[in-house]
Amino acid sequence: MPPNAARDADRKFITLLEAAGVIGVSAATIRRRIADGTLVGYRFGPRALRVKRADVEALGVPTNAWS
């Protein structure tokens, strides 16, 4: 594991681009999830928008839940 990987995994808030990378989607998809209310975005200043890493990971639904 790279030296910064452990530290980055412990960060509570991540950028939209990082969030997109966590679950393999585009940053636009993360923005859509914020817009439709399925993901909460947090403002840190006038431009900085972040999400909680745990919230992003919780977006996943087990496939057997759909049956």
What are the boundaries of each domain within the chain?
Answer: 3-60
Question: Which residues pair with residue 52 across a beta bridge?
Answer: 13
What count of Cα atoms within 13 Å lies in the side-chain half-sphere of residue 48? 4
pTM of the model: 0.78
Contacts of 52 (CB under 8 A, 6+ apart): 12, 13, 14, 40, 42
Query: What digits encode the pLDDT tens for the residues 9-63?
Result: 678 999 999 999 999 999 999 999 999 999 999 999 999 999 999 999 999 988 8
- Of all helices (H) and strands (E), which one includes residue 55? helix 53-57
Query: What digits encode the pLDDT tens for the residues 38-47?
Result: 999 999 999 9
